[in-house]
Chain A
Amino acid sequence: MRPPDDASLLRQPAADAIRWLTQDLPRFAPQNDGTPRGASVKRLAELALAYIQLESWSKVACRERCAVCAGLETALPRWRRFLIEQCEMPAYAEHVRKVPARGLDTLLPYLALRARGYRYEFHEESLRRLEESGLLDVAERGAYRLLEAKWILWQAGWSVSEPEWRELYLRTSLARRRRLSYVDTIAAYTATHTVFYITDFGTRVPGYLAHEAAAVTEVLTSSLIHYWRVHHWDLVAECLLALACVNEQRSSLEAAAENALTIRWHKGRLPATRDDENECQHRETAPRGESGFRACYHSSLVGILAVARRHYHRTALG
């Protein structure tokens, strides 16, 4: 039997995840990582990147009024308010000027919001200063980090000319065809993120990628099976999202992997790894508090994106 095209089995767990993450929004605030560099904005940046994709996709009208669409309709305005609130916090805003060498990374949440029209004069001035200091010159970054930086600066409307995507892609390990047996966890994340940026999270498939689609699908499918086997659900979700960005049609293998994911996705919380999964089972309920959030938030966020990508793609196609 042919699987349904839009990951519909995962829609309820994804809707539960939207609800859970919205309830726990304060945990996305910059985290004090105990170093002199100041608070980490990793979570805030991840939420902001997910927000701009989901906000953009959800403009496509869904006739079914499904759980995901209903959840996003309520959640996204709250996510936006929270992100703006965080970006306007003086401690966050000043940090860019205190540690300009890390300014671009610190500004990722702001740049994401900037991509959706938001402007904040203090950050605009920080960006101008970073530009003047040469700190937006990202040419020396590693291949996929370079791709990420170019993508966000272009999305945010800061870079006027569109980056040379093909040239950037050819520098990545995904384009250079690493042997499948020698893809480790770092390389797997690099591959999925390369796909996210090069396809603009599935909104465009560049012509040159058409020739690469089979090879890219092979890498992602191989990683999908591996991380499914070792119960690394964060990477399973990443691979499913990346595959949804590359191919319009969902394969039967992806559908089977989604079933495996559904079994682990309880009360909106998708555990990232086998250890996190065991911890959830050990407690017999989803883990609460900071440790539970840390174990599940990223995989849940990526899971939502994977489900939404498939759903809105299908909705857009009618």
Chain B
Amino acid sequence: MINARDLVGRRVLAARRAEKWVSGVSARSRAEESLKRLGVALCDDVARHSGRTLAPMAPPRPPVITSAYDLIELPRAELLTLCGQLRVSAPRELRARALQLCDVDAVLAGLAVSYARVNDVAVVASLVAVGHRAGVSAGAMREAESYLLDQQHDDGYFGLLAAERALVGVCEIRPALLRLTVDVVWAFAEAQLAGQTTDG
């Protein structure tokens, strides 16, 4: 049984360690520099229990989903694109739409666990972020979030990619680790914000 309070504590510690690593990464392009800034801001949000970074001025309306069950067989690339849109969309509208979908809690949480079973950190992170933004119960997402916490390296980044690193070299793997780390911290920031909303 995963304890909710323990999870919050682990999340904050993980964000602090991730912030150190992200701050030390040398960006090699403008896109990487932006990603790095976003990562640091999100880590800061989690560590300080603030949701500033996740409150853009004019969030777009979420795309229409007619059935939560349709998400189950959605190909990975399409699911990632959809999650990318959902996690920046207007939270109130997203929650209202999620409420209309039968079994949305079970499907989002179940899908996140399903991708965790095949060790796909990027999809798990996206689903956890979307789930919390859509108002899925914190309890349902706990298992997937705990899995994400297990994927942190001692250096602070997320994604245990030592095997992949041996194949492609440090230069190619570093942008992937930065991207994964930002995705995971984004999920934690959404979880933190959802917890505050629920508590409040």
Which residues of A line the B interface, CB within 8 A? 177, 179-184, 221-222, 224-226, 228-231, 251-253, 256, 260
Contacts and interface: CB of A to CB of B under 8 A. Distances in A.
Contacts of A256: 69, 103
A226 B114 contact: yes
Contacts of B147: 179, 181
The 8 closest A-B pairs by CB, nearest first: A225-B110, A226-B114, A181-B116, A181-B147, A256-B69, A180-B143, A253-B103, A180-B113
Interface string B7-34: 0000000000000000000000000000
* Interface majority SS (helix, strand, loop, mixed), chain B: helix
Contacts of B117: 181-184, 226
Q: Most B CB atoms within 10 A — which of A182, A222, A251, A252?
A: A222
Interface string B132-154: 00000000000110110000000
* Interface majority SS (helix, strand, loop, mixed), chain A: helix
B72 A229 contact: yes
A226 B103 contact: no
Contacts of B102: 252
B111 interface: yes
A225 B73 contact: no
Interface residues of B, number: 19
Nearest to A185: B117
Given A179-B143, A229-B72, A222 B113 contact: yes
B163 to A, nearest CB: 19
Contacts of B69: 253, 256, 260
A181 B1 contact: no
A95 B32 CA distance: 68
A139 B137 CA distance: 42
Nearest to B116: A181
Contact of B73 (A181, A226, A260): A260
Nearest to A3: B102
Nearest to B103: A253
A256 B147 CA distance: 27
Given A181-B117, A252-B103, A260-B73, A229 B111 contact: yes
B71 to A, nearest CB: 9
A229 B113 contact: no
B113 A228 contact: no
Contacts of B72: 225, 228-229, 260
Contacts of A229: 72-73, 111, 114
Contacts of B146: 179, 181
Given A228-B73, A229-B73, A256-B69, A181 B113 contact: yes
28 contacts: A177-B1, A180-B113, A181-B113, A181-B144, A182-B117, A221-B110, A222-B114, A225-B106, A225-B107, A225-B110, A226-B110, A226-B113, A226-B114, A226-B117, A229-B114, A230-B114, A231-B73, A251-B103, A252-B102, A252-B103, A253-B69, A253-B103, A253-B107, A256-B69, A256-B103, A260-B69, A260-B72, A260-B73
